[in-house]
């Protein structure tokens, strides 16, 4: 067990609850005034989790965010509750790009979670116009994530949006035609990621190579028209349907627009292997659909079987695993990463 884990987690939880953390204040530089330390003792102690960086990771998959819960809609209320639950149970968002790069930069004892949103519906990112000014709807996913981050600065607002640049409304780039390009730029400015989900949710399963290339390259071209030079790193397969030739989905070029997908996300499959595990296969990354039943199942699973859960050691340059799990590691590890077995 890494020394000091319990104390740090308690103090962070306390500081967040007391509103002492300013936005942008690095966690590692946190120091609390003596008055706050007494209050911190009163807050519940999170369980101490020994580092296990070969454990599995939740990549959550959201579709619509709206007023009423249904199969493909997470209600605004439930989405807020999901963030609180993840926070309380020691999960913190990391970007998919960082995960692919093997960079999990979280304090010791915390677990990464990746948030993904498919199909660019309005409830994910809506603008409200008031007195000629454009604001982010606080009840859209982006607004909710930003608000939650303001209230809990150690819970980063990070997510990947798998957008449809040429779908029928309301799914075309979040359903507000006047703001399509501005929203894509805004997402990137806010530190979110944009992923490929084809032009209009095309089923790549039975498609020929030319159709697949057209769908994937055209989506990238439209995203890059809005955000010049933006690197679209990942693809979420519509319907989870893999093309017969995987190479066509990972790399291609049409009329000067190149796409290069480092990861391909499925629509289901459970928790994903750690990027440091031998089982990690970026071209077949499983996800967990963020329904109440699936969240209960997987958060319950990690609560009952903590040895299966990715837990950070607090040091992005090292990979720390319990001795019995070391056999699950991939070999070699990414360059420059130090291995620690405990
Ligand atoms: Zn979709």
**120 C-alpha to center of ligand 1: Å?**
9
What number of other Cβ atoms are within 10 A of residue 326's Cβ? 13
H-helix segments, 152-236: 180-189, 209-226
Predicted local confidence at residue 38, as pLDDT: 46
Residue 202 Cα to ligand 1 midpoint, Å, equals 9
Range of the domain at 37: 1-48
Residue 181 CA to ligand 1 centre (angstroms): 20
Cα maximum dimension of the chain: 66
Provide CB contacts within 8 A for 279, sequence distance 6+.
Answer: 273, 328
205 and 146 inside one domain: yes
Same domain (yes/no): 42, 60: no
137 and 36, same domain (yes or no):
no
pLDDT of residue 23: 33
139 and 205: one domain? yes
pTM score: 0.86
Please check whether residues 135 and 22 belong to one and the same domain.
Answer: no
Into how many domains does the chain fold?
Answer: 2
- Distance in Å from the first CA to the final CA of the chain: 8
pLDDT at position 42 is: 54
Confidence (pLDDT) at 309: 98
Residues of the chain with pLDDT under 70: 1-47
- In the three-class reduction of DSSP (H, G, I as helix; E, B as strand; rest coil), residue 119 is classed as coil
The residue behind tokens 């296990």 is 52
Shared-domain flag, residues 22 and 126? no
Cα(60) to centroid(ligand 1), Å: 13
> Distance from the CA of 55 to the center of ligand 1, in angstroms?
27
Predicted local distance difference test score (pLDDT) of residue 48: 82
Radius of gyration of the chain (CA): 20
For residues 245 and 293, state if they share a domain: yes
Domain co-membership, 4 together with 86: no
User: Same structural domain for residues 200 and 311?
Assistant: yes
CA–centroid distance, 36 to ligand 1, in Å, is 46
Residue 93 Cα to ligand 1 middle (Å):
21
Q: Are residues 33 and 19 in the same domain?
A: yes
Instruction: Examine the domain organization and report whether 24 and 136 are in the same domain.
Output: no
CATH for 236 = 3.20.20.370
**Is there a contact between 179 and 147 (Cβ–Cβ < 8 Å)?**
no
Same domain for 14 and 146, yes or no, is no
Per-residue pLDDT, 223: 98
What pLDDT does 86 receive?
A: 98
Contact 65, 73 (CB under 8 A): yes
* 12 alpha carbon – ligand 1 mean position (Å): 36
Q: Which of 267, 262, 301, 259 is nearest to 281 (CA)?
A: 262
Indicate if the alpha-carbon torsion angle 217, 218, 223, 226 is positive or negative: positive
């Amino acid at each position: 067990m890494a020394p000091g884990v319990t104390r740090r987690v308690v103090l962070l939880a306390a500081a967040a609850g007391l509103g002492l953390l300013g936005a942008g204040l690095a966690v590692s530089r946190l120091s609390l005034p003596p008055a706050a330390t007494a209050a911190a003792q009163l807050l519940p102690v999170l369980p101490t989790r020994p580092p296990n960086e070969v454990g599995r990771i939740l990549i959550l998959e959201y579709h619509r965010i709206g007023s009423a819960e249904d199969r493909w809609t997470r209600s605004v209320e439930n989405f807020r509750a999901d963030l609180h639950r993840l926070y309380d149970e020691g999960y913190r968002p990391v970007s998919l790009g960082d995960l692919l790069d093997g960079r999990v930069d979280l304090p010791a004892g915390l677990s990464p979670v990746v948030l993904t949103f498919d199909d660019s519906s309005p409830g994910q990112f809506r603008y409200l116009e008031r007195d000629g000014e454009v604001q982010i709807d606080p009840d859209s996913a982006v607004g909710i994530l930003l608000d939650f981050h303001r209230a809990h600065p150690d819970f980063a607002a990070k997510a990947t949006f798998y957008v449809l640049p040429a779908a029928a409304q309301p799914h075309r780039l979040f359903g507000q035609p006047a703001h399509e390009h501005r929203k894509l730029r805004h997402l990137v400015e806010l530190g979110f990621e944009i992923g490929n989900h084809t032009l209009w949710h095309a089923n790549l399963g039975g498609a020929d190579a030319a159709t697949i290339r057209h769908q994937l390259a055209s989506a990238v071209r439209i995203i890059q028209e809005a955000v010049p030079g933006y690197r679209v790193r990942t693809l979420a397969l519509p319907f989870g349907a893999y093309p017969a030739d995987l190479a066509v989905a990972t790399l291609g070029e049409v009329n000067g627009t190149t796409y290069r997908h480092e990861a391909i996300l499925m629509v289901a499959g459970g928790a994903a292997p750690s990027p440091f595990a031998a089982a990690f296969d970026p071209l077949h990354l499983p996800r967990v659909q963020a329904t109440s039943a699936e969240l209960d199942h997987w958060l319950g699973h990690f609560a009952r079987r903590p040895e299966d859960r990715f837990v950070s050691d607090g040091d992005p340059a090292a990979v720390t695993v319990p001795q019995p799990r070391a056999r699950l590691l991939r070999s070699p590890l990414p360059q420059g990463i130090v291995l620690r077995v405990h």
